[in-house]
Each structure stands twice: as structure tokens, then as C-alpha cells.
Amino acid sequence: MKIAAIGEAMIEMSITGDQAQLGVAGDTLNTAIYFKRTAPQIEVDYITRLGRDSFSKRIKSFIADQSLGTSAIETDDDRVPGLYAITTDYHGERSFSYWRDQSAARHLFQSQNSYSFHCLKDYDALYLSGITLAILPPSVSMALLEYLNQSAHILAFDSNYRPALWPEQNTAKSLITEFWKRADLALPSIDDEMLLMQQSAAAVTERFIKSGLSGALKRGAEGPISLGEVVDQTYLPAQNVLDTTAAGDSFNGAYLAAKFSGASQAEALAKGHDCARHVVQHRGAIAPLV
């Protein structure tokens, strides 16, 4: 099996007090890394667009160092990567500042006035998120959906709604709803869906349980709700939450890796939750290897 995660890789500044630690991250990249760590036998590529500057080279080297394939990464002569800074409060809750308007990744799949998804043809499964859709022009996101509707790819999707990335909420609602219809594996977070659809937690839960989708509705420390199959098991909370960055991304990576490795739904849910528990006890998106 060959899998690709699609999105934006950025320079990450994780700030603690007066100190800043430089790293590389991005929601779908985080998921790809935790997928590969959980299932090293599965081939995983990362697809994005970078520049030719030193930070782009740093990002590409980092991706390769995580044992992810880089052959499908596009290069832009005129643009550079995005950057974001993370600050966390004493509860471990995060806040972000972004500099990504001129990011090369916003031009992924595009060439002059046309676009192409030819680079996706050799993959069995694709993973992308609402952030992937938000950074692309709506016309490109819709063309990607049309391509996927005609393809046999297994599609894993997380809405990962970030309001600041969208021109307005209705655009996000419409496009994300269409991608839920195409998804084979759904990995929504309850907080994102409550915010996006202006629904209560109970309404979001009911909507996804009735949707017929397979996957997991993520609820942080409470543990996931199984979608598509009834699973009754308990999940332990993290003992020492330092930073919730990439909690959902890491869950997605470990869950998908387990599923694509043949694990049961219950095993995959437990793998995802345990991975997220580990990650939130470390600062930054990418926890050290254990």
C-alpha cells in the first residue's frame, strides 16, 4: 500500500517565556509522521509545494528525515514556506500566530491558469484536511473533489476547521460537507465541528453517528466515539498535559496506520488515543521518539 498526505509544511516557532524553539510542522505533515512511526512498513509520501530558499530546504530535509517520501513535493521559484508561532497557557492550551499568505503551498497543483492532480495517481490512499482545502483557491479544491469523485483512492479526511484561513464560514461549511460525502474514513474533532456547523456536542455526535461514515469522532481527553462500528472501551487521560498541539493530528496518524495495518476498530481507536496522550505531554507538534 502507498499513501500520501497532502497539505502545507511550515516553519514552527514554539515559544516558552522568552525562548523560541524552531521546528517544522503542519497538520497533515504531523499526521503523516505519526502514521509512519506507527506503521513503518507502509510507504508514506508527503505532498506540498516549497520554495528554493534555505527554510524550504530545511523543511524538505526534515520530511525526508522522518522517513517520508518527498518525490511528489513541488518547487516554486518565487515563493517561500509559511511560518507560525505557538504559545501555550498554564493548562497547555495553545494559541497561534500565522504568516502564511504568501506560502508556496497555496499554489499546490497549480501551473499558470491550470491545475493537475497527476501526481496522485499512483497512491492507494490519500489523507487531507480542512486546512488543506482552506489554503487552496476554492476552484482548485472543487477540482480536487471532482478528481476524487472519479478516482478509486481511499480518502481519509479531517475537517480541522480554522476560521481565520477561510474567506467566510459558509464557504467552509459547503466545501467541507462535500468532502465528508466523499470520505471513506472520517476523523472529525467535536470542537471543530461544533464551531463550523454551530451545533451542540450532542448534535455533532448524532450527525456523525447517523452519517454512515467509518472512523472516529475525536473528543480529546474523553476519548473518541467510534463511527461505523460500535466500540465500548475506556480511554485514560494524559497525566501531564504540556501542549495540545497536534493532539488530533497524532491521533489521526496512529489510527490510520493501525487500520491500514489490519487492526480492528477498537485497536485502532486505542492506538490513536494513546499516541495523542503521549504527544500532549511534550511541547511542539512532533514529540521525541521513544
Query: pLDDT truncated to tens, each residue of the chain (290 aa)?
Result: 999 999 999 998 877 778 888 889 899 999 999 999 999 999 999 999 999 999 999 999 999 999 999 999 999 999 999 998 877 776 656 677 888 888 999 999 998 888 999 999 999 999 999 999 999 999 999 999 999 999 999 999 999 999 989 999 999 999 999 999 999 999 999 999 999 999 999 999 999 999 999 999 999 999 999 999 999 999 999 999 988 889 999 999 999 999 999 999 999 999 999 999 999 998 878 888 86
Q: Is 11 helix (H, G, I), strand (E, B) or coil?
A: strand
Instruction: Tell me, yes or no, whether 285 lies in a domain.
Output: no
SS (H, E, C) 22-54: EEEECHHHHHHHHHHHHCCCCEEEEECEECCCH
Contact 207, 199 (CB under 8 A): yes
Q: What is the pTM of this model?
A: 0.93
- In which element (H, E) is residue 139 found? helix 138-149
The Cα 154–Cα 168 span in angstroms is: 29
pLDDT at site 93? 67
Instruction: Tell me, yes or no, whether 287 lies in a domain.
Output: no
Contact 10, 25 (CB under 8 A): yes
Q: Is 3 helix (H, G, I), strand (E, B) or coil?
A: strand
CA distances from 270 to 160, 189, 224, 248, 273 (A): 21, 16, 9, 13, 5
Instruction: Tell me, yes or no, whether 269 lies in a domain.
Output: yes
Q: Where are the beta strands (DSSP E) in 173-229?
A: 185-186, 214-217, 225-227
Instruction: Tell me, yes or no, whether 75 lies in a domain.
Output: yes
How many structural domains compose the chain?
A: 1
Which residues are part of the catalytic machinery? 249
Contact 107, 140 (CB under 8 A): no
- In which element (H, E) is residue 156 found? strand 154-158
The Cα 187–Cα 159 span in angstroms is: 8
The Cα 23–Cα 26 span in angstroms is: 10
The Cα 281–Cα 232 span in angstroms is: 26
pLDDT at site 283? 80
Instruction: Tell me, yes or no, whether 187 lies in a domain.
Output: yes
CA distances from 183 to 2, 15, 127, 154, 163 (A): 18, 36, 10, 8, 21
pLDDT at site 290? 67
pLDDT at site 185? 98
Kindly report the CATH number assigned to the domain that includes residue 142. Answer: 3.40.1190.20
Contact 149, 181 (CB under 8 A): no
Instruction: Tell me, yes or no, whether 289 lies in a domain.
Output: no
pLDDT at site 96? 75
Residue 24 structural domain: 2-279
Instruction: Tell me, yes or no, whether 15 lies in a domain.
Output: yes
Contact 75, 100 (CB under 8 A): no
Contact 225, 209 (CB under 8 A): yes
Count of CB atoms situated within 10 Å of the CB of 44: 27
Q: Tell me the β-bridge partners of 22.
A: 13
Instruction: Tell me, yes or no, whether 288 lies in a domain.
Output: no
